[in-house]
Amino acid sequence: MRFSITGRGLLAAAALLLTPMAASAQDFTPENPECIAPANPGGGWDFTCRQVGKSLQDLDIIPSTMQVVNLSGGGGGVAFAEVVNKRNDDNDLIVAASSATATRLAQNAYPGNTMDQVRWLGAIGADYGVIAVAADSEIDTLPALMDQIKADPSAISIGGGSAVGGWDHLKVLIAAQKAGIEDVRQVKYIAFAGGGEAVTQLLAGSLQAFTGDLSEAKGFVDSGDIKVIAVLAPERLEGEFSEFQTAKEQGIDAIGANWRGFYAPGGMSDDAYDYWVKAIGTLYASDEWKAIMEANGLAPLDLQGEAFQSFVSDSVQEITDLSKEIGILQ
């Protein structure tokens, strides 16, 4: 995926940061703040809701506890439909989103729904993709995994927390394409409701590899359950993640960055929208959040409000183009 931020987007982001928030935004305060994580506990969306919710509380950016609700199904489609059809004017609600959300929207996988039916609030960083195996696996490198797929595609099952054709699936197909696998549709991908479930099946022996993001893999790496054989970043990450090889340095030039952020109901009032945009921007600018980003391998992505809306629109278009290239979309 061509993960980029246009100059126009950066200028818009700067303008938003420099423009004082309208006084009317102070007229709204959420009574029962809620974040929907569109997957089961243990995945990236769950991490986004829980970590951001806790940080907003700890920094007194929101006045009360953020309730986190897990609403899995359809690669985020169940949550999206719930917001659009039943909670369209809920001012207290935000929903975790990512490149996986943009992927499903790009592929028309949320029947009857489009990105314009919700309001896009802001990003809280970008999460590089990883490909991992069980800690006791004989596979130690990405080329070794790809060689096994070339030899017998049916013998290697790779699981992830997005639906078939979703962002976790696309990351593997990008790597396979760059590794010289001519028909990437032969790659056997199994979809789970969240990254945590996929790792559980990896450890049970039902899968030979896992595709996800660094933030959701980190806990399993720390516990010694899995080993990362490739990070889909342009260069090695810093700090404790520097030990992980990139796919690129192993001769497979695959890059996949998953942005993380939030959307809100399309009928949310302007006062509430301004409140949440400002809250996410304030959190992102804090030293506390910068430390969390570093600890979880998140790369910078500072976009709120209209700049983020434009960025998501560009992401959807890019993924549409990529899906056509790979044959997922006609």
pLDDT mean across residues, the chain: 90
135 and 118 co-located in one domain: no
- Angstrom CA distances, 7 to 11, 176, 190, 255, 310, stand at 6, 31, 38, 21, 12
DSSP labels, 199-239: HHHHHHTS-SEEEEEHHHHHHHHHTTSEEEEEE-SSS--SG
Whether 278 shows a pLDDT value over 90: the answer reads yes
Taking each helix axis as running N to C, give the angle between helix 167-178 and helix 305-326, from 0 to 180 degrees, rounded to the nearest 10: 50
Domain with residue 156: its CATH number is: 3.40.190.10
Residues 21 and 164 grouped into a single domain: no
**Res. 2: pLDDT tops 80:** no
Per-residue pLDDT, 22: 38
Same domain, 145 and 241: yes
Summarize the confidence of residues 86-99 as an average pLDDT.
97
Say whether pLDDT at 93 is over 80: yes
Q: How many CB atoms lie within 10 A of CB 147?
A: 12
Question: Average pLDDT in the 317-329 region?
Answer: 85
pLDDT reading at 26 higher than 70: no
Closest CA to 144 of 219, 209, 79: 209
60 is in which domain, residue-wise?
7-126+259-326
Q: Please say if the pLDDT value at position 12 is more than 50.
A: no
pLDDT score of 13: 40
Q: Domain check: are 135 and 238 in the same one?
A: yes
Q: Is 271 found in the same domain as 238?
A: no
pLDDT value at residue 97 = 97
Average the pLDDT over 162-182 and give the result. Answer: 91
108, 135: one domain: no
pLDDT reported for residue 16: 39
**pTM of the model as a whole:** 0.76
CA nearest to 195, candidates 220, 172, 176: 220
**Rg, the chain, Cα only:** 19
**Residues 98 and 145 reside in one and the same domain:** no
Predicted local distance difference test score (pLDDT) of residue 322: 82
Question: Is the pLDDT reported for residue 327 higher than 90?
Answer: no
pLDDT of 17 > 80? The answer is no
Helix (H) or strand (E) holding 311: helix 305-326
Give the tens place of pLDDT for each residue, 262-272.
999 999 999 99
pLDDT over 60 (residue 311): yes
Among the candidates 250, 273, 308, a domain finishes at: 250
Domain shared by 72 and 141, yes or no:
no
% of the chain residues with pLDDT over 70: 92
Per-residue pLDDT, 35: 98
**Are 263 and 121 part of one and the same domain?**
yes
Domain limit, last residue, from 195, 217, 250: 250
CA distance 271 to 68: 22
Q: Is residue 2 domain-resident?
A: no
Q: What's the burial of 261, exposed, middle or buried (CB within 10 Å: 0-12/13-18/19+)? A: buried
- Quick one: pLDDT at residue 30? 97
pLDDT band at 209 (very low <50, low <70, confident <90, very high): very high
pLDDT of 14 above 50: no
d(CA 36, CA 71): 7
CATH of the domain at 75: 3.40.190.150
Task: Count how many domains the chain has.
Answer: 2
Say if residue 108 is in the same domain as residue 184.
Answer: no
Q: How confident is the model at residue 193 (pLDDT cuts 50, 70, 90)?
A: confident
